[in-house]
Structure 1
Amino acid sequence: MKVIAESAFNHNGSLDYLKQLALEAKNNGTDFFTVQVMDVSAFCVKEYSKYDIYKENTLSFNEWKEFFVFAKQIELDVIPCILDIPSLDLCLDHDFNLLKIHATDITNISLLERLVALNNVDLILETQCATNLEINFAINKLGDRVKCLIHGFSNYPTEIEDLNLNTLDYFKEYFPQYKIGLADHSLDTEKIPLMALAKGCSFLEKHITLTRNNRNFDYQVSLYPNEFGAMISNIKHYEKALGIKMKHPMESELKYRDVMYKKVLESGNYMRADKGMDFMTHRLDSLDSQKVGVALIARLKSKRLPLKVLKPFHDTFVIDFLYKRLKMSKKLTSVFLATSPLNEDQELVKFAQEHDHCVFLGHPVSVIDRMLSLALEEELGAIFRVTGDNPFTDIDFIDEMIQLMWDNNLDYVRVNNVPFGVSAELFSTKYLWKLYLGMENPMMSEYLTQFVLEDETARKGCLDIESEVENLKYINLSIDYPADLDRAYTLIEELNSDNLYHISFSDIIKRIDKLEREDENKMIKLAGGEEIKFSDFLSKLANQEYIIRKKIKF
């Protein structure tokens, strides 16, 4: 949970005060500092009862410009709360890409229409005093510009019975696409912030001041810098208790698991023992390695190319083409479309069933859970991960990989130096289980390859492809963007085959040299938000300690 220090009008119109307040917020650990930027003449009419107060206590635009420079100098992330269109223009001139919309502007149609027309600007939407109807109105106008909904109560200080923290649960249920936050105007600096943390807030906003003695504006709910720092320290401490959003043993639990879980005895009984395997380890370890299946991983969640696996391809559609190709393998036992039971994937499930695909519904996020569940149900001793956006996955390679695993008792097999989207990954089920237990967070198992790369104990094997095509490994035949689909269509035209299902890699490699290469210096994502240069990632794949490397020349 990120903490936002709210300055509001605690600066009383003094730039020096605001600078000092920002510096204190920075030094006491705040993640963001929010300011209310106002052009009084655009904000309210002169006859408004508080016009003179605002006029006397508002910074000029030149002062705001100086403050923005100061904030950059002290490396403080500022979130301007823009209160009118001239203030919006000022902040856009200073390249802010995250802005806050005050709750009282939630139906300010002129401002909303101006905001929705902007590029590369994200919005935090406050909702104090707003009705559900008005929140929906703003969201329908702003669309995906909104990244977070902030709940709060406008009475200062907010009484405990008025906080209504269950609104946060309501937001999560009815607006699941947005992060949630709390603008906390209570006097509590310990329990309410921790309740917001437990409710899953991404942001907590609290007022900060240098002194409450001036009794100006929001002094009742404003914290001294040391109080603010103590609150942040308390949040950071208890944040550790949240862990990951999944049931999975912590690393420190594994030793207890080994001692406490009952073992499978030779008699067939289950009792605590120092030797032997727990039931699940024993079950997965005993599966027949000759039974090898494919988990064809696909869902319909892609935003870069919506419904990409259902796009037309050859004489059918991407996912059906790939499924039929995989079924041509001589050594595979079974092929399953492995997707989720969520409503958003029901169109894919219906399509697969209509095309006679075997379908398995598993965990929507944890890919390794989905694969292990499939292996357990179908009693597969080894399982491929093939992603549904890779229609050119090579069947001959798949059969070679299976034989390599059988001949060398391998945990993991892959193909190196081929275009992205041609190779699959083969795991022994018992190794996949070991990998799973050792993961800190299986919800990150979309990046399954990374976990294998970091495991120096696995028995790995590979097919090393040799060809005269320059930079073959930098060609992308996977489909993730519209340009990727166009590239695949171009290759289909080049292949010029009535029966593309039987096309071999030898056929592809003769016609692939014309395709553009990916930038070897581009950054690709890893688990935990880390990134690695594409060329460095491919180098890591090629330079693993493989037990066996089989070279194949084309």
Structure 2
Amino acid sequence: MSFLNNQIKKNKVFIIAEAGSTHNRSLSTAKKLIDVAASSGANAVKFQSFFSEEISIKKNINFYKQFELPEKFYKKILRHCKKKKIIFLTTPFGFKSFNMIKDMVPLYKIASPEINYYELIDEVIKKNKPIIFSTGCSDEKEIVQLVNHLKKNKFKKFALLHCGTSYPLAPENVNLSYITRLKKMFKNIPIGYSDHTIGISASIGAVSLGAKIIEKHFTISKKDKNPDSFFSLEPNELKEMIKNIREIEKSLGYPNKVLNKSIISKRRAGMRSYYAKKNHKKGSKLKDNMFIALRPYEKNSLPINKIKDFYGKKLEKKINISQVLTLKHFK
């Protein structure tokens, strides 16, 4: 999945700052959102693309109309993203919106309610660009059906996001452990988390469990009266979340035990070697209470967990008080 795979190979999380509809149909606000996402360190900023008539029955069109991102904004938004060196993404909700944005983005995002909308998905995969699917409205059977449908169409460039479609999602309903199950079920598919909780702890926990993509709503101000804003992060919170995620990345490491230079130096200072309590002649037999285990550890000293294996053996050379007992004393 191109840059997304490159992020994952570098043990980096791909972070999507979800602007959603918090632009409030204002180009200047949309640009401010892009500025915030870029300065916070997000990899991408994402909007939502739809025309009311492709998303709802007639009587509800006016409700959705107030959240549309005006078509005339797109080229200006794209240019501003390039200027700020952040990836522009958007979620299409129908054929008209997809045809409008299909050449503007390097990958597509399919929202949770649309992942069984195979007619649209089949059109999207024809472009052969990576697709990220949220799964907030789906049970496990439906997730498996989606994956099988994509495989049937020989489409492999996709990722799945665990998600809960509730705004906001209560902590007791987050179920981050399902990320672990998705990783086991779909071993070669990137798994991430789309976060609708209040705060940043769920996203940080998801990364700790191995999420490779994080999507989080943000806004300029929770007071801007947009229906998404009250559960979204404000700029300082978004920056703090990304800072924490980048620290977690470094902390996760790899599934093998590594003693780095700083640990090795502390190991020497904190671990012990056996030191002679008094002078001992060559030929003395090692027995209890001749040596005492003290800090620091000295390289090539007799391992302190092995000393009883040497009880009764003769010293091959003398050792003076406070000298370290080594294997060479028995050769």
Q: For this structure pair, what is the TM-score category when the shorter chain's length is used for normalisation? A: 0.7 to 0.9
* Runs of 5+ consecutive residues of structure 2 not aligned to the other structure: 1-12, 275-285, 287-292, 304-331
Equivalent residue, structure 2, for 1:43: 55
Q: How does 1:356-505 map to 2 (within 5 A)?
A: none
Equivalent residue, structure 2, for 1:174: 185
Task: Note the C-alpha offset of 1:33.
Answer: 0.8
Once the two structures are superposed, what CA deviation does each residue of 1:482-512 show, in whole Å capped at 9, x if it has no partner? xxxxxxxxxxxxxxxxxxxxxxxxxxxxxxx
- Cα 1:216–1:254 shift into 2, 3 Å: same
Equivalent residue, structure 2, for 1:249: 259
Amino acid in the other structure paired with 2:97: S
Contact 1:71 1:78 in 2 (8 A): yes
Amino acid in the other structure paired with 1:232: I
Equivalent residue, structure 1, for 2:300: 275
Instruction: Give the whole-Å Cα distance in 1 for the aligned partners of 2:147 and 2:248.
Output: 33
Aligned counterpart in structure 2 of residue 20 of structure 1, from 32, 36, 39: 32
RMSD: 2.6
The answer to whether structure 1 residue 126 and structure 2 residue 131 are counterparts is no
Instruction: Give the whole-Å Cα distance in 2 for the aligned partners of 1:247 and 1:261.
Output: 21
Equivalent residue, structure 2, for 1:218: 228
Q: SS of the residue aligned with 2:252?
A: coil
Contact 2:135 2:163 in 1 (8 A): yes
Aligned counterpart in structure 1 of residue 197 of structure 2, from 178, 186, 195: 186
Equivalent residue, structure 2, for 1:421: none
Task: Note the C-alpha offset of 1:202.
Answer: 0.9
Instruction: Give the whole-Å Cα distance in 1 for the aligned partners of 2:144 and 2:157.
Output: 12
TM-score by length of 1: 0.45
Relative contact order (C-alpha < 8 Å, sep 6+): which is higher? 2
Task: Note the C-alpha offset of 1:7.
Answer: 0.8
The answer to whether structure 1 residue 108 and structure 2 residue 108 are counterparts is no
Task: Note the C-alpha offset of 1:245.
Answer: 3.0
Equivalent residue, structure 1, for 2:328: none
- Cα 1:224–1:274 shift into 2, 3 Å: closer
Amino acid in the other structure paired with 1:220: F
Amino acid in the other structure paired with 2:161: I
More moved, 239-248 vs 153-162? 239-248
Instruction: Give the whole-Å Cα distance in 1 for the aligned partners of 2:251 and 2:272.
Output: 25
Once the two structures are superposed, what CA deviation does each residue of 1:192-247 show, in whole Å capped at 9, x if it has no partner? 23211211111222111112223221122111111211222233234322122323
Instruction: Give the whole-Å Cα distance in 1 for the aligned partners of 2:299 and 2:162.
Output: 53
Equivalent residue, structure 2, for 1:97: 106
- Cα 1:14–1:133 shift into 2, 3 Å: same
Contact 1:126 1:149 in 2 (8 A): yes
Instruction: Give the whole-Å Cα distance in 2 for the aligned partners of 1:75 and 1:239.
Output: 22
Once the two structures are superposed, what CA deviation does each residue of 1:517-549 show, in whole Å capped at 9, x if it has no partner? xxxxxxxxxxxxxxxxxxxxxxxxxxxxxxxxx
Contact 2:223 2:230 in 1 (8 A): no
Instruction: Give the whole-Å Cα distance in 2 for the aligned partners of 1:155 and 1:16.
Output: 29
Task: Note the C-alpha offset of 1:149.
Answer: 1.0
TM-score by length of 2: 0.73
Instruction: Give the whole-Å Cα distance in 1 for the aligned partners of 2:140 and 2:25.
Output: 34
The answer to whether structure 1 residue 6 and structure 2 residue 25 are counterparts is no
Instruction: Give the whole-Å Cα distance in 2 for the aligned partners of 1:274 and 1:224.
Output: 53
Q: How does 1:313-392 map to 2 (within 5 A)?
A: none
Equivalent residue, structure 2, for 1:84: 94
Amino acid in the other structure paired with 2:21: F
Contact 2:16 2:46 in 1 (8 A): yes
Instruction: Give the whole-Å Cα distance in 2 for the aligned partners of 1:12 and 1:19.
Output: 12
Equivalent residue, structure 2, for 1:153: 164
Task: Note the C-alpha offset of 1:166.
Answer: 1.1
* Runs of 5+ consecutive residues of structure 1 not aligned to the other structure: 264-268, 279-554
Task: Note the C-alpha offset of 1:262.
Answer: 8.6
Instruction: Give the whole-Å Cα distance in 1 for the aligned partners of 2:58 and 2:262.
Output: 65
> How many residues were matched structurally?
268
Once the two structures are superposed, what CA deviation does each residue of 1:52-73 show, in whole Å capped at 9, x if it has no partner? 1221321232222221122112
Q: SS of the residue aligned with 2:58?
A: coil
- Cα 1:133–1:274 shift into 2, 3 Å: closer
Amino acid in the other structure paired with 2:58: K
Instruction: Give the whole-Å Cα distance in 2 for the aligned partners of 1:126 and 1:247.
Output: 34
